[in-house]
Amino acid sequence: MLTVVNLTRGEVLAGRVEPALFFWRRLRGLLGCRLLSPGEGLLLEPCRSVHTFFMRFPIDVVFYDEAGRVVAVFPGLAPFRFTPVVRSARGVIELPAETLARTRTRAGDLLRFEEC
């Protein structure tokens, strides 16, 4: 488990982020989940694009680069949508909808990943 902190804004994005670092876990993603609770998230790495096909709820999506800098955000990505390919991304964090608004996270912010 990881905690993801937005150093630029001084905000915790999520305190319980599950890394999905292997192919099958990344492929499954959040499919089948009924809900993503506040403070939870899923980290997909490597990843440059995501989709929400067959999901039941919207999510906030944060793409970050090798340095942990946010390179793109997609707030409130509804079910049955997809993001464009973000070529500069190393990975992505999927978060509950409204997390980006609450934490004021935007492109250019610096993230820190801490082991729990």
Report the pLDDT value the prediction gives residue 32, as an integer from 0 to 100: 58
Tens of pLDDT, residue by residue over 56-78, are 899 999 999 999 999 999 999 99
List the domain boundaries for the chain: 2-103
Report the pLDDT value the prediction gives residue 55, as an integer from 0 to 100: 85
Which homologous superfamily does the CATH classification assign to the domain defined by 2-103?
Protein of unknown function DUF192 (2.60.120.1140)
Q: How would you write the pLDDT of the chain (116 residues) with one tens digit per residue?
A: 999 999 999 999 999 999 987 655 555 556 556 778 899 999 999 999 998 888 889 999 999 999 999 999 999 999 999 999 999 999 999 999 999 999 999 999 999 999 98
Report the pLDDT value the prediction gives residue 111, as an integer from 0 to 100: 98
- pTM for this prediction: 0.91
Complete DSSP assignment for 40-96: EEEEESS-S--B-TT-SS-EEEEEE-TTSBEEEEEEEE-TT-BPPP-TT-SEEEEEE
Residue 54, sorted as left (phi over 0), alpha (psi -120 to 50) or beta, turns out to be: left
Report the pLDDT value the prediction gives residue 24, as an integer from 0 to 100: 55
Report the pLDDT value the prediction gives residue 56, as an integer from 0 to 100: 87
